[in-house]
Amino acid sequence: MPQDQIEELERIKALLEERMVSKPRRYSHSLGVASCAASLAKTYGVDQFDAAAAGLLHDWDKVLDDHELLVRAAHMGIEVAGSPSMAVGLLHGPVAALELLELFPALNPSVFQAIARHTVGAVDMTPLDMVVFIADAIEPGRRGDYAIRLREMVGEASLGELFFQCFSQGLSYVISTGRYMYPTAITIYNHYACARSH
């Protein structure tokens, strides 16, 4: 990675650490996601700098409370499917993506898209989107059999299959714990289920 990119990542880390000073575990998670995303990017031929930058910044707005996230999402015109109050835990991605665009204008627009999509996904995920989504689920701080199984698939399965398995695991967790399922989740699942059967 070129020196200017390394320096930019260090600058982002410093700003992130300052923002998350009251949430050290969240900061550690973000470092883990960035490292994991860069590794996945190398394995699957995705830009490592973009992956690391998106990984560092993906939870930028996790420091905001639910009310503030809802207010910002409404102000920015972010469309929420279903119940906004039930989906508030998913809003930190789309809200941060729009805010970070102004804070880090030199970053590739694809970085902000990956940040926006790391919570609920989309039917047209790019390789970078998939890398960040997966890294969020399998970074070293994640525990559980699901994380181990997904880590073992890295380099063995295609990126698309790894994403599908990761997304499916997320849906299984939502259902098994009786949590609110975002309305687009089934559409996204079915899209990739159909794609892998052809």
User: Would you state the structure tokens that stand for residue 39, as one six-digit string?
Assistant: 């590794």
DSSP annotation of 126 reads -
> In whole angstroms, what is the distance from residue 18 CA to residue 39 CA?
25
Rounded to 10 degrees, the C-alpha dihedral 59/63/65/69 comes to -50
Buried b (16+ CB within 10 A) or exposed e, 40-65: bbeebebbbbbbbbbbbbbbbbbebe
pLDDT in tens, 68-108: 999 999 999 998 888 888 889 899 999 999 999 999 999 99
Q: What is the mean pLDDT of the chain?
A: 95
Residue ranges per structural domain of the chain? 3-196
pLDDT band at 197 (very low <50, low <70, confident <90, very high): confident
How far, in Å, are 16, 17, 52, 173, 194 from residue 10 at the CA level?
Answer: 10, 10, 11, 34, 41
Residue 2 has pLDDT above 90, yes or no: yes
- CATH fold, domain 3-196, is Hypothetical protein af1432 (1.10.3210)
pLDDT in tens, 155-173: 999 999 999 999 999 999 9
Among 122, 132, 134, 124, smallest CA distance to 57 is for 132
